[in-house]
A = this chain, B = another copy of it.
């Protein structure tokens, strides 16, 4: 049973893949073609990355005619936030820098 945050880190480590996810976050639902247009890689590459993002639960796909619409599933980021605050928690037991970090998260 691979931990959830493991999959997330591995998935988001790749720049082009993360760029795709970012675009979906910023601009909402997009078709593969639309994503490919402004990506620096070929359409098959985009499709492959979207498949991996989907497996990680970071995106959803919706088929409409012959095009596929992808959208970000922000909830999937939760384990990442959990892991980070857990690390911060361990740290906090020794120092008090946590407040500073929480302020960032709050804003």
Contact = CB atoms under 8 A, between A and B. Distances in A.
A37 interface: no
A25 to B, nearest CB: 4
Contact of A12 (B9, B26, B28, B78): B9
B72 A91 contact: yes
24 contacts: A6-B18, A9-B9, A10-B13, A13-B13, A21-B87, A22-B87, A25-B87, A25-B90, A26-B90, A28-B94, A72-B87, A72-B91, A74-B88, A74-B91, A74-B101, A75-B97, A77-B88, A77-B101, A80-B84, A81-B84, A81-B104, A81-B105, A82-B104, A84-B84
A87 B81 contact: no
Interface of A: 6, 9-10, 12-13, 15, 18, 21-22, 25-26, 28, 72, 74-75, 77-78, 80-82, 84-85, 87-88, 90-91, 94, 97, 101, 104-105, 107
